[in-house]
Amino acid sequence: MKSVLKLAEHRHRTSGKAASFIEHHRFTSVYQPILSPTHQKLVGYEALVRIRRGDKRISPPALFEQANIQGVTAELDKHLLGLHLDNFGFADQPAWLFINLNPDTLIQHEGYLEQLAEHCERNGMAPEKVVLELVETRSRDTGTLLEFVDQAKALGFRIAIDDFGMGDSNFERLWRIDPLIVKIDRSLLVNAASNQRARLLLDSLVRMIRESGSLVLIEGIEDEAQARIALDSEADLVQGFLFEEPSICSRLLSRNAEQSVKEVVDNSRQWSLDDHNNQETYLQLLRFEILDTCHQLARGEPLDQVCDDLLALEGVQRCFVLNGQGIQQGSLARSGADQRRTFNPLYHSSGARWNHREYFRNALEKPQQISCSRPYVGLPDAKRTITLSTCVSSEHHQVIFCIDIHPDDVMGGQLVFPVTL
């Protein structure tokens, strides 16, 4: 009995402490639009909080750091969730309301989801229109997390994973939670804007998540370059200051956001058209130079004297010749950039056998065509490489002519090489 009384006293003290903590701050709900570029319309809002203590503005991380120190994180989180629901004026609009949940709320959730569902109903909003965002962090109790997710789904709430791709992101946990939406951590988008390998990683991550059965949302989009990366990745949803900053809900907020996404999508179409024309021009020139070089090789002219124009094209690094058994004939013909690279003994490849490579098999199977291999790591420089290959026949013999290209160095890495040129 004494244990029960002590527990009740502890809960009472915590509740009082939380109330005092909350009363010393002034909270304002703001909402940032979430948009579908495919539909070119608004499909949701993320609820965010702005905090002041007296005349001083407090950041959400600083607020929750203090709440954690005082042991009132879960109570504060639940208060803010209720505030966002009460302040949301678009319960009748066909849009989701995204609400962030602190990990402490997940652990201390007994009976809370039912209360939250009732709160939604009182505000005229079905739980199906509320997306609970779970921060992608290692849970202290995976069993409790999954129990929370199951109960939330049973009540109709939607589940989203936030900040996926950094920190404790875990595909196994993602598959077990089976969220409707996965929000990609903004740092991946920022890195993708300046690093081609990071962009490839982002594209692969978006593709894997979509194939696993979840929608992908890329957030934190602040300029058109980032928007283009998000659109090219085929993310389902987008969010960021480029479209609209967080604000109090209004019809104007919705209209401005939808107008912004339409403009970005229209610009993207023009970018894609320009890219397509530039890529076609490049591929046509590449094909012309390869065929011209092949004609010179067929006349018996030496490799190192016929590849200059080809090696001058963007991304082209090396040319070499194989015999019918896949054995390299002579040395590499190398571009000026390739010749300036640091020493690597793998450059000395005369006599190497390449019959196990895809590009050798492609040339034998399609002797009348110029075939493009899939990307792989080239031995001479350990960089992503695509090899184009084709058969060259003369009166006396037949050889395989091969051209190594660094695809990341061609048009910002966005050129998709066809199977055959």
Q: What pLDDT does 391 receive?
A: 93
Q: What pLDDT does 138 receive?
A: 56
Per-residue pLDDT of the chain (421 residues; tens, 9 = 90+): 333 333 333 333 446 888 888 888 899 999 999 999 999 999 999 999 999 988 899 888 898 888 888 888 888 888 999 999 999 988 788 899 999 987 777 766 678 899 999 999 998 899 999 999 987 665 556 788 888 899 999 999 999 999 887 766 667 788 888 999 999 989 999 999 888 888 888 999 999 999 989 999 999 999 999 999 999 999 999 999 999 999 887 888 889 999 999 999 988 888 777 777 788 888 999 999 999 999 999 888 899 899 999 999 999 999 999 998 999 898 888 887 766 666 666 667 778 888 899 999 999 999 889 999 999 988 888 888 999 999 998 777 889 999 999 998 887 777 888 898 8
Report how far apart, in Å, the C-alpha atoms of 289 and of each of 71, 338, 370 are: 70, 19, 12
Q: What pLDDT does 11 receive?
A: 38
Q: What pLDDT does 227 receive?
A: 93
Q: What pLDDT does 207 receive?
A: 93
DSSP-assigned beta bridge partners for residue 134: 101, 161
Domain 21-249 - what CATH class? alpha beta
Closest CA to 45 of 94, 86, 78: 94
Q: What pLDDT does 72 receive?
A: 86
- The residue extents of the domains of the chain are 21-249, 299-341+348-413
Alpha-carbon gap, residue 325 to 178, rounded angstroms:
50
Domain 299-341+348-413: assigned CATH number: 3.30.450.20
Alpha-carbon gap, residue 221 to 189, rounded angstroms:
8
Alpha-carbon gap, residue 235 to 272, rounded angstroms:
16
DSSP-assigned beta bridge partners for residue 30: 48
Question: pTM of the prediction?
Answer: 0.75
Alpha-carbon gap, residue 145 to 87, rounded angstroms:
28
Closest CA to 247 of 257, 259, 238: 257
